[in-house]
Structure 1
Amino acid sequence: MARNKFDVDEELETSFSFQHLKRLLSYMRPYRKEIIVTVSLMFLANIASLMGPYLIKIAMDDKIPNKDIKGLSILAVIFLFTLVVTGVCMKLRIRSMSRIGQNVLKQMRLDLFTNLQRLPFSYYDNRPHGKILVRVVNYINSLSDLLSNGLINLITDSLSLFMAIGFMIAIDVKLTLISIVLIPVLLAWVLILKKAQRKAYQILSSKQSNMNAYIHESINGIKVTQSFAREEENLRIFREVCDNYRTSWLRAVRIQFLLWPSVEIISTLTVSLIYIAGIYYLASEVSIGILVAFVGYVWRFWNPILNIGNFYNSIITAMAYLERIFEAMDEKPLVTDLLGASEMETIKGDVEFRNITFAYEEDKPILKNINFKVKAGETIALVGPTGAGKTTIVNLLSRFYNIENGQVLIDGTNISNVKLQSLRKQMGVMLQDSFIFSGTIMDNIRYGKLDATDEEVINAAKIVRADDFISQLKEGYNTEVNERGTRLSVGQRQLISFARALLADPKILILDEATSSIDTKTEMLLQEGLDNLLKGRTSFIIAHRLSTIKNSSQIMFIDNGTILEHGTHDELIKLKGSYYKLYNSQFDIFNAV
């Protein structure tokens, strides 16, 4: 049984390097001043915190034996002050780094989304949309703790570690050496865990991506699922996907949590060694106050190591997500503005295809030496069998693909030499599957021209006959529609798309099977609106329903990547060629029905 795309783990095209981490840090560059202030506050907090054990040493070795109540009270006030300073600094650090971290996540998400909007259709055709969505939402969210706490904690914990060592050396060098004797054991254990942990989180991110993809696919296909009573089979598949995710998560977390108890065990062993050495070997050199203070510093020495270990865990976890985030962010668009590209002048509508040969795959040409000219305001119909190259022609006109052989000219200008945005803003494309966004019908029509007034929206709807059904709805133009317009019929969605296109007033209009789902009655009502929609603009219509294109200025019959016939409807009927046969076959079917 063939495997579905959601069930196939993604292969990384690039391995992780610390360049990824460096790139992540570059997002924090605009907040350098705030980070420096935060680090300074944490430096102050560390000094205040590290004063505690030393104050205890003074109290136990000096103030308490001498019954110095005044001195002990002063130490207590100083100790309380250090606690207040530490607490205030921590509060300011959390507030500042949380804001910085969320700003960084926002910018990363914007950069990723911006690039996704520029990628070719093939990128989305080859990947389940859930696997793309998980990068924008889940993977970037997973970096939140690393950015808000991990990076700043690494700096402050490193400072705290060295400051603790400084205090320890100042108190007793021998006890300091005993405190660090087990560090090599910890480092060896970290190196052992490193590779296993990274691999485990790579697998986990793949399983999370698979689960997200299947959920997304299942929601989109819920009507088909229920129509074919496939709920039990889908539940079985989802249970399997969930089990794979759960197993991967448990394994990844099991490896991750091996570090924390290791640090705890080693730090406890270190404290035990200090007590043993202090009591049995250094009793004559070490006072009770020194021993208690030193143990306090030992905990302050190992706590940063534990935090650094947790940071290391966060980095290893983030590696798997960063790889996929930056992989999507670095995906290159197939079509971009050429160096020195100019703005497209206001389009009049003359179109020329000059010696166009095009292939999606090498040595498999879809179009073969296509040549034709269209005058501004003409309506050109493209007909022919499926796979003949009709959609490819309009895709090249919209410059969705780079043109390697030949030229497409608009008003005598090679469209390869103009900026994409300036070209596409003056063009309108309507597809067979008319996309309706969640919101009101008014908002959906206004999508074609965001500054349009309500009157302009309603007028556009009236021209294409969409007003006929909209006005019958309870809320009229303020009727809320779901994503993809599930509350509307296919024909109603296409009428809204027609109104949207008319409102945008494109100079060149492309209709790719845009009337295929409109019933005969609606088609008759729409024909007058279509004439108004096409009036004064160059239009390309791809249609299998030939009744909608009889009045076209020119009809081209495309087959096997070439233009076999072209002319008006009457001319092609008189020719009695391929178009004539196709038209008669539809006419016979219509009569039979």
Structure 2
Amino acid sequence: MENIKVKKVFDFSLLRRLFTFAGPYRRSFYWSMVMTVLLALISPVRPYLIQLTVDKYIANNWIQALINISLIQVGMLLVETAMRFLFTYLTNWLGQSVVKDLRLAVYKKVSHLNLAFFDKTPIGTLTTRTINDIEAINDIFSEGLISIIADVLMIVAILAMMFFQDWRLTLVSLSPFPVLILATYLFKESVNKSFYQVRNAVAALNAFVQEHITGMVVVQAFSGEKRESAKFKKINKEHRKANVDAIFAYSVFFPVVEIILAISLGLMVWYGANQVLNYQVTQGVMIAFIMYLNMLFRPLRVLADKFNTLQMGMVACERVFKLLDSDEYLPDHGTKSAANLKGAITFDNVSFAYKDNDYVLRNINFDVKPGDTVAIVGHTGSGKTTIISILNRLYDIQQGRILLDGVDIRDYKLASVRSRIGVVLQDVFLFAGSIYENMTLRNPNITREQVEAATKMIGMYEFISELPGGFDYAVMERGSTLSLGQRQLISFVRALLYNPAILVLDEATSSVDTESEMLIQHAIDKLISDRTAIVIAHRLSTISKADKIIVLDKGEIKEIGTHEELLKKEGFYFKLHSMQFKKASV
């Protein structure tokens, strides 16, 4: 799990890059800044109007003028309220708009990264980047930078008005401010540290819960409830401690601010009262200063918290841009279309490694004619599934060439070549949605009639028709309400609907019962007659009719031939066949 570390330096280059995403919404950004300036200018006006009311209109008993200035104050209050609403709405709208574009950019980036990236990056990390981190970036606009600028401008405007009114009274009122600045700094550092701890604790909780809910069947099967509960209790305790530390900082800081405000007001009243008695300060100025101080302390209470929010948003921003800058994707420089692919396959001295020079395939050479059925067999870890992965260009090879119809696979457009290869994987993944949506993958070009025809071809139509809602039956998460065989058959139909030139069955019958296997074999016999098929299976009985069998061992081809030819050689295939026959007879 990736921990968030406290950072001291504010990265302005990162902020500039973030604001490029606000480019399409620059009008809203400019208007929000205009609102910021106007609100800062309006803030000191109401206390000043009250000062005039007390010193001029009430003192001279000008009733009509008193009514007029009161109406002006009400109008000013309404205008300020409307402007604050508009400011809040604009900043939040701007933040959500940037978040929308960022989240789309991250999702597009993730969907185009190669599988090697996902092999080493936890799903929880990518989920956090796409959702939590980007939501934190929204706070930069709604509660961070623009809001901080607004508060600072308001503080400057209020201080300017106070010094303009009476600089001596202002200095006396602000004499406790050094204590407030120190308290604000200590609060910022404390909350900043605890905020990072809270985020890390939340990440730990999320990772633990996600992992253990997914693997709950293993936990319960091995009676591990108490052990795992003890681990969760420890993580949960750390989460509570991190939150309590943050709460403690808030609990200390806000009373300190109130005390400092009370001291400032007390000093102002003590000094101002003497000035009033000596006719050097008016009563209106005293009342205005009370309002100024309250307005001054209001943004100061939250300014440190907003700085922390801004910093956390920048940390999230850095992590998101790090993902966007990732170059771990397959190059797609091909220009040829695979629309008319016939299905000839050639592996020419192919070697492949998932990491560095740790090759899992070495010097693989074989040819497949269009329409042939080729079986690949071997022990677990021999490289069977890897061959399928590189054929579908989920990974790029380090050495050699893979040719489709005599053309290097890298010369084809990536999406085009993948659309002509249908794959039924051993681990079937079903999305939340209906059976129909899982079969078509929401492709609008596939009709209901085509789906029904495909299911009838492999004998699934009656089973689906009996489900509540038929083809609109809602598949639960990962298809948990369906059997392994049923999920496998749905995946099989999914591949058939795309009418591939090359059909790949990766352990397609390894998790199904005998009846389902018979259905699949029946469908295979019909479908592979006019297309190239590559079958990977542990059950050698399912591939005995293949035109060619390739035997792999530790990433190398040991034998190639038909079922009968390989049995006569009494080599690797013969040993595999004998072992399975012996197990079946026990």
TM-score (norm 1): 0.90
CA contact (8 A) 2:373 2:547 kept: yes
1:39 to 33, 37, 58: 33
Aligned positions of 1:47-86 closer than 5 A: 47-86=41-80
SS of the residue aligned with 2:205? helix
- 2:297 maps to 302
In structure 2, relative to structure 1, the CA distance for the partners of 1:188 and 1:336 (3 Å cut) is farther
- 1:289 maps to 284
In structure 2, relative to structure 1, the CA distance for the partners of 1:273 and 1:145 (3 Å cut) is same
- 1:277 maps to 271
In structure 2, relative to structure 1, the CA distance for the partners of 1:267 and 1:284 (3 Å cut) is same
Structure 1: distance between partners of 2:172 and 2:376: 85
- 2:161 maps to 167
Deviation at 1:115, TM superposition (A): 2.5
CA contact (8 A) 2:423 2:504 kept: yes
In structure 2, relative to structure 1, the CA distance for the partners of 1:239 and 1:327 (3 Å cut) is farther
- 1:517 maps to 511
CA contact (8 A) 1:204 1:249 kept: yes
Structure 2: distance between partners of 1:34 and 1:229: 57
What is the identity, as a one-letter code, of the residue corresponding to 1:295?
I
Aligned positions of 1:285-364 closer than 5 A: 285-333=280-328, 335-337=329-331, 340-346=333-339, 347-364=341-358
CA contact (8 A) 2:378 2:551 kept: yes
Q: Which moved more, 1:484-493 or 1:206-215?
A: 206-215
Task: Provide the aligned C-alpha RMSD in A.
Answer: 2.8
What is the identity, as a one-letter code, of the residue corresponding to 2:92?
S
CA contact (8 A) 1:130 1:217 kept: no
Deviation at 1:156, TM superposition (A): 2.4
Deviation at 1:222, TM superposition (A): 2.8
In structure 2, relative to structure 1, the CA distance for the partners of 1:40 and 1:9 (3 Å cut) is closer
1:452 to 443, 446, 453: 446
| Structure 1: tracts of 5 or more residues without a match | 1-7
Structure 2: distance between partners of 1:388 and 1:73: 92
- 1:533 maps to 527
Structure 2: distance between partners of 1:304 and 1:196: 19
What is the identity, as a one-letter code, of the residue corresponding to 2:107?
F
CA contact (8 A) 1:139 1:325 kept: yes
- Deviating above 6 A after TM superposition, structure 1's stretches of 4 or more consecutive aligned residues are 11-16
Deviation at 1:549, TM superposition (A): 1.3
What is the identity, as a one-letter code, of the residue corresponding to 2:331?
D
- 1:3 maps to none
Structure 2: distance between partners of 1:471 and 1:57: 81
Q: Which moved more, 1:174-183 or 1:366-375?
A: 174-183
Alignment length (residue pairs): 583
SS of the residue aligned with 2:280? coil
- 1:467 maps to 461
Q: Which moved more, 1:575-584 or 1:8-17?
A: 8-17
Deviation at 1:98, TM superposition (A): 2.8
CA contact (8 A) 1:358 1:405 kept: yes
SS of the residue aligned with 2:530? coil
- 2:228 maps to 234
Structure 2: distance between partners of 1:14 and 1:406: 46
2:475 to 473, 481, 505: 481
In structure 2, relative to structure 1, the CA distance for the partners of 1:549 and 1:450 (3 Å cut) is farther
Aligned positions of 1:130-529 closer than 5 A: 130-255=124-249, 259-280=253-274, 283-333=278-328, 335-337=329-331, 340-346=333-339, 347-447=341-441, 449-529=443-523
SS of the residue aligned with 2:308? helix
In structure 2, relative to structure 1, the CA distance for the partners of 1:146 and 1:262 (3 Å cut) is farther
What is the identity, as a one-letter code, of the residue corresponding to 1:573?
L
Structure 2: distance between partners of 1:244 and 1:12: 17
What is the identity, as a one-letter code, of the residue corresponding to 1:515?
T
In structure 2, relative to structure 1, the CA distance for the partners of 1:525 and 1:65 (3 Å cut) is closer
What is the identity, as a one-letter code, of the residue corresponding to 1:541?
V
Deviation at 1:523, TM superposition (A): 1.6
| Structure 2: tracts of 5 or more residues without a match | none
CA contact (8 A) 2:198 2:242 kept: yes
- 1:112 maps to 106
Deviation at 1:169, TM superposition (A): 2.8
Structure 2: distance between partners of 1:265 and 1:97: 32
SS of the residue aligned with 2:331? coil
SS of the residue aligned with 1:376? coil
CA contact (8 A) 1:381 1:541 kept: yes
What is the identity, as a one-letter code, of the residue corresponding to 1:552?
A
SS of the residue aligned with 1:361? coil
In structure 2, relative to structure 1, the CA distance for the partners of 1:536 and 1:219 (3 Å cut) is same
Deviation at 1:467, TM superposition (A): 2.1
Q: Deviations over 1:190-225 (max 9, x none)?
A: 444555544433332222111111221222223333
CA contact (8 A) 1:131 1:210 kept: no
